[in-house]
Amino acid sequence: MANQATLSSSNKDLWAGGTEPFKASYGKLMMWFFLISDAFTFSAFLIAYGVIRFRHPGYEGSLSDFSFSQSYWPVPEKVFEAFPFFHGVELPLVFVGLMTFILILSSVTMVLAVEAGHRMDRQAVEKWMIWTIFGGLVFLGCQAWEWSHFIHGTDAGSKLLDGSMIYGANLQLNQYGPPDFAAFFFFITGFHGFHVFSGVALNFLIFYQATVGILERRGHYEMVEKVGLYWHFVDLVWVFVFTFFYLV
């Protein structure tokens, strides 16, 4: 009898929500599960990119003779070589590299905000959140420039199979290579950019809540941690996009 009583009371505790699975709070656990599903979405995008790339012939010749053509997949470092205010100068991958550093740095300031939250240091949380938001906004600005340049194209343009010229890119045609190339650029970097945008919005919300003292009155800064998980995930996805879209 005694045994039974113990069992039923402990069962009641379990189902009443008194325990935390994995010793992680509800919010953090659900954020992790959301991120796993989001990781699947991005994997599907990147794998689809790989599939479409492999079903097109690659460029065979040497890099110095490379020219854009509809009949093979372009070499990314020949497509992404522009930098603001350096018109016509070939700077392969420098701009995306800069964007990568900016996003990594804003991830670092986010960790510092989380660390400050553990110490209940409101001022430090505000400071590091502001830097994180700033990093996110700069990244979005860079991406806007990158898209604008991609859409408008280069001075030289390239010749389509029917002999007409095309400059830049849209969802049907582009000067860089097969139509799918631009479609994937827009989809993958656009979907990631939208994540950055919503990350900045969430970061701003947390910054606001910290500033007016909501989080302090709540007694903990766990919201910073949860939104931080999302923000690091955005950085993580960019690491993969950078490799598989720009480097390989």
Given 70, 82, 100, 224, the residue binding other proteins (CB under 8 A): 100
Q: Which helix (H) or strand (E) holds 158?
A: strand 158-159
Residues near other proteins (CB under 8 A), total = 60
**Per-residue DSSP letter, 162:** T
Q: Exposed, middle or buried, 148 (CB in 10 Å: 0-12/13-18/19+)? A: exposed
Q: Is 26 helix (H, G, I), strand (E, B) or coil?
A: helix
Given 89, 165, 201, 239, the residue binding other proteins (CB under 8 A): 239
Q: H helices of the chain, where?
A: 2-15, 26-54, 76-79, 94-118, 122-152, 179-211, 214-218, 222-241
Nearest to 150 by CA among 122, 191, 190, 201: 190
Give 39's contacts (C-beta < 8 A, 6+ positions apart): 233, 237
Given 52, 130, 137, 183, the residue binding other proteins (CB under 8 A): 52
**Which window, 4-12, 93-101, 157-165, 178-186, contacts other proteins (CB under 8 A)?**
93-101
Given 79, 110, 169, 188, the residue binding other proteins (CB under 8 A): 110
Neighbours of 51 (CB within 10 A): 9
Given 14, 24, 156, 165, the residue binding other proteins (CB under 8 A): 24
Given 26, 34, 54, 194, the residue binding other proteins (CB under 8 A): 54
51 binds other proteins (CB under 8 A): yes
Q: Nearer to other proteins by C-beta: 137 or 236?
A: 236
Tokens of 122: 């409101």
108 binds other proteins (CB under 8 A): yes
Q: Give contact residues for other proteins (rule: CB under 8 A).
A: 22-24, 29, 32, 35-36, 39-40, 43-44, 47-48, 50-57, 62-63, 77, 92-93, 97, 100-101, 104-105, 107-108, 110-112, 115-116, 119-124, 211-214, 216, 229, 232-233, 235-236, 239-240, 242-243, 247-248
